[in-house]
Amino acid sequence: MAAFQRLLRASAAPTLAIGGVMAASAATTVALADDGAAAAAPASSSLVHPGRTARGDKLPIYSAADEAKPIVLIETVNPLTEHITAAREATAGALGSARDVVESGVSSWIGFERKVEGEVKQIVSPDESLTPGLIYVAVAGLTGSVLTRTRAFPIRFLAPPVFALAALPYFLPKTAHNLRQYVSDAEDKHIPEFAEKHDRFNNALEVHWQLALDKLRGAGNDVNTWSNKAVESVESATGLKMAEAVRVGQERVEAATARAKREVERAAEKAKDKANETAASISSARDTVKEAVAEPVELKTLAITIDNQPVAEIEVPLPAQVTEQLAALKEDKAEVAKEEKKVEEPAKPKDEGKRLV
């Protein structure tokens, strides 16, 4: 404050200088403000808000009558559309063909599975159990491999399937028959020439087998003839009656066999008759019991059990006729059991005291 007072007390020249400076700064400030307003005016005039005019007025909702003109839409086609359409159609076609191929493959595989299942069901007999039979056939094949382990390679290679095929008709006869029939039908359908040769081979093998059997029968007859000749030669040389001894032995064996056969047939007839009588007695006893049960019966509580333990013994009287029939039935069953267990041996021929020689 003191400094300001001293300044006022000074001469007027500094005061005028300070006033001039302040007036010049004020003029400069007014000029800059005018320039800024002039520069901001075009910027504000160029900025247009949506829904308003350039002057900032709000646009009307409906257009004026003179402004209702038809709007023409010009459709411009993208040059890539054709290429994209062609690529999409080609892709869709490729995927469709691939799907058709997959579906046809799946259908053919399902058909193949059903065909194999039907053929397996046709070969495997439902009357035979495969569990033990196949195990036995496999064991037979392993046996062939063990028996030929020191032989040449072809024998070692062929022995297991040969042993298995030889054991198959024994353990699974119906399945083996169906398998042979299936193979024969397949040969007739696909390779008829080989099937014809196979049939000729089978016929020739059967003929040779019959010839071998006939030869064996002929050999048996020859052996009998030679034995008779040998007996006759021994009789002529020694004077012993060997032929008569052989004939008597054969007659006795035949008689004993016939007698044993008759005894067995008689025992079977007796057992059959006893079984029929027992069945008749059982049916009659059953009918009697049904008639007795059909009568009205008054039921009363006779005993009570505790923890499934009986505390009393109950006896129910039966009619005398039913009791007799049950006793007779027990006796008949006992006799039938004895007849079944008993096997009568044929009587041995007694020695009449005659010498055979």
Q: Where are the domains of the chain?
A: 98-219
Write down the pLDDT at residue 42: 43
Q: Which of 275, 272, 273, 281 is nearest to 326 (CA)?
A: 281
* Crossing angle between the packed helical segments 2-9 and 12-46, to the nearest 10 degrees: 110
Distance CA 152, CA 73 (A): 95
pTM of the model: 0.38
Residue 26 CA, distance from chain mean position: 110
DSSP 277-339: HHHHHHHHHHHHHHHHHHS----------BTTB----------HHHHHHHHHHHHHHHHHHHH
Tokens 């892709």 identify what position? 91
Nearest to 176 by CA among 166, 162, 188, 186: 166
pLDDT along the chain (357 residues), means of 10: 49 51 48 43 56 77 64 81 92 95 95 91 86 91 91 91 92 90 87 86 88 83 76 70 68 83 85 81 74 54 54 58 73 73 51 42
Sign of torsion over alpha carbons 283, 284, 285, 291: positive
CA separation for the pair 267, 342 (Å, rounded)? 9
CB 184 within 8 A of CB 195: yes
- Dihedral sign (CA 237, 243, 244, 246): positive
DSSP secondary structure string for all residues of 50-79: TTB-TTSPBPPSSPPGGG-----------T
Closest CA to 179 of 119, 112, 108, 115: 119
Residues 6+ apart with CB under 8 A from 147: 159
- 110: helix, strand or coil: helix
What is the DSSP annotation of 124-192?
Answer: S-TTS-HHHHHHHHHHHHHHHHHHTTTS-HHHHHHHHHHHHHHHHHHH-HHHHHHHHHHHHHHHHHH-H
Q: For residue 334, what pLDDT is reported? A: 76
8 Å CB contact between 332 and 281: yes
Q: What does the alpha-carbon distance between residue 186 and residue 119 come to, in Å, rounded to a whole number?
A: 11
- CA–CA distances in Å: residue 207 to residues 193, 200, 212, 334: 21, 11, 9, 56
State how far the Cα of 102 lies from the Cα of 97, in Å rounded to an integer: 9
Do you know the residue count of the chain? Answer: 357
- What pLDDT does residue 163 have? 93
What does the alpha-carbon distance between residue 164 and residue 154 come to, in Å, rounded to a whole number?
16
Instruction: Report d(CA 183, CA 169) in Å as an integer.
Output: 15
Residue 18: the pLDDT is: 55
Instruction: Tell me how far apart the alpha carbons of residues 330 and 201 are, in angstroms, rounded to a whole number.
Output: 64
Q: Both tokens of residue 117?
A: 């299942």
| pLDDT of 285 | 74
